Amino acid sequence: MAAILSPSMVAYEDDFLLIIDKPAGMLVHPTVSERGTTLYDYVKAYYEANGIDAGIHPVSRLDRNTSGLVIFAKEPVVQHWLSQQQVEKEYLALACGRFEHSEGIIEAPIARKEGSIIERCVDYECGKYAKTAYEVLASYSNHTLLKVRLFTGRTHQIRVHLASIGHPLVNDNLYGTPGPQARHALHAYRLAFKHPVSDVFLEITRSLPNDLLKLLY
């Protein structure tokens, strides 16, 4: 059985929703080659240990090496209702270099890079519309801490967009410096949306994890 979720990983829970603060290095969904250690498996074990009779229906997803908030609905209809609204998704990102402007919007279509299963790229002919907004929170000697908001949800959108303007994420070996994929400096820190059952506006936040805090100084 997969390890049980630690209490610190549970950011929010009620009868309809479970929001988890996912650590970097963990897949959200099981694959043919990786089972028992994904976030899905952790949630399943958490339900079993706590006698929770509910489904596991992911509403959001994150890359393996991105940390932060992931929503699970406990019923299919709740998943559907959430998918019908625009969930506010904001990230904290540590990008290479210093930015000329304190804020900006990147609108550039994204497509799968030819010849690659994983990598994406900006492609003005074949890409799908993508929009990302950023705000500089702090500047360091070689890096910049950003608050990033997604308006669309393309695969690797933040990573591709920041790389396209010459500021790839720190440690993003796929879109920055050559090398094996590593823990890139991206954390999904805020979700905000109207609860699909109660209609109460929810705002859930989680601060930068320690491994990214160490990169700031």
pLDDT, average across residues 69-82:
95
- The tens digit of pLDDT for each residue in 133-158 reads 999 999 998 899 999 999 998 999 99
Which phi-psi region, left, alpha or beta, contains residue 171 (left: φ > 0; alpha: ψ -120 to 50)? left
pLDDT reading at 78 higher than 70: yes
Cα separation, 183 vs 169, whole angstroms: 10
CATH code for the domain in which residue 24 is found: 3.30.2350.10
Tokens 């019908």 belong to residue: 84
For residue 16, the one-letter residue type is F
**Beta pairing, strands 186-194 & 67-73:** parallel
Which domain does 30 fall in, by range? 1-84
> CA separation (Å) from 70 to 126, 170, 175, 176?
29, 22, 23, 25
DSSP three-state, residue 13: strand
Domain count, the chain: 2
Annotated catalytic sites, by residue? 63
Q: Which of 59, 84, 109 is the last residue of a domain?
A: 84
Mean pLDDT of 162-183: 87
7 and 105 in a single domain? The answer is no
- Chain segment 28-75, per-residue pLDDT in tens: 887 767 667 899 999 999 999 999 999 999 998 899 999 999 999 999
- Domain end, chosen from 54, 84, 114, is at 84
pLDDT at 179: 65
91 and 78, same domain (yes or no): no
